Amino acid sequence: MDKSKVLAIHTIVVRGDYESFKAAFSRSVLGVTFKKFRRFGRDFYQHRVHNEKVTNSICNFLYEYLMRETQNMANYDLKTDLTLQWDDKGKILKISNIKVTIFLRAAELQVDEVRVQKKLENIVIDLFYSNIDAASQKLKTKISEIIDSIGKENFEYNEWDILDKKGKEMAEKYDVKLVPTVIINADPKLMFENPDERMLRNEIEELYIPEIEESIPKFERNEKAKTSIQYLFATK
């Protein structure tokens, strides 16, 4: 009965020099092998030298072939896809379906720094509530959570008790009839009577637009790409 294990593996995209290619290839093959079979302990570790030698040999074979077919591998990026097969204790039996994809760096956009402005125009939230109203107390908590999740520095938050003098005056000013009521940025169109958390959060987040300040972007074309692409497609 065949107890071998098979798994498809994909490396990250790395620079095309030998050391980068080898590191990514070995890390993928040996790293996955270790994670998958380390639970077998001594039965697995006895294959360490075998697995390292096989991985190194295949890595060298692939890179030597690439070097014969390209002008300078350092001009490219590489990504490898393959299928690994082990025995039931983690000994590498076969590596198949190998595909090394060559990427050419045509250009690069570089931005040294992007900063979020510390001080924005505050979002003003006015809550009209009553201490004897359970919905008011619940809404107080929800508003605090929403504000905390975005950042208190971005808000001016006011609470108005509808039963005291100042609260009554503000309620009359904004024509508030029921509690709890939330008004955003003193805008009658943004007045919400006993809003649910999702709706209120959506309205507030829609108004929160952080501004950024970026350093001058640099766009550089890779002049080596012209020669490299011509070489790759040259008829031999």
pTM for the full predicted model:
0.57
β-pair type (155-161, 76-86): unpaired
Give me the numbers of helices (H) and strands (E) for the chain, helices first please.
7, 12
Q: Which residue has the tokens 């720094």?
A: 113
Q: How much of the chain exceeds pLDDT 90, in percent? A: 71
- At a CB cut-off of 8 Å and minimum separation 6, what does 131 contact? 137, 161, 163
Computed from CA positions of residues 165, 171, 128, 156, in that sequence, does the dihedral angle turn out positive or negative?
negative
C-beta neighbour count of 21 within 10 angstroms: 24
Instruction: Confirm if 89 and 32 have CB atoms less than 8 A apart.
Output: no
Q: Give yes or no for a contact between 94 and 85, defined as CB atoms under 8 angstroms apart.
A: yes
Place of tokens 């590498």: 92
- Note the pLDDT tens digit of each residue in 14-66: 999 999 999 999 999 999 999 999 999 999 999 999 999 999 999 999 999 99
Q: What's the CATH number for 115-213?
A: 3.40.30.10
Using a 10 angstrom Cβ sphere, with 0-12 exposed, 13-18 middle and 19 or more buried, the burial of residue 105 is middle
Q: Is the pLDDT of residue 118 over 70?
A: no
Q: How many percent of the chain have pLDDT more than 70?
A: 96
pLDDT at 236 over 60: no
pLDDT of residue 25: 96
Q: Where are the domains of the chain?
A: 5-106, 115-213
pLDDT tens per residue, range 142-201 = 999 999 998 898 899 999 999 999 999 999 999 999 999 999 999 999 999 999 999 999
Q: Do the beta carbons of residue 100 and residue 22 sit within 8 Å? A: no
Beta bridge partners of 92: 86
- Report the first-to-last Cα separation within the chain, whole angstroms: 48
Q: Kindly state the average pLDDT of the residues 71-92.
A: 92
Identify the CA nearest to 80 among candidates 69, 68, 104, 96. 96
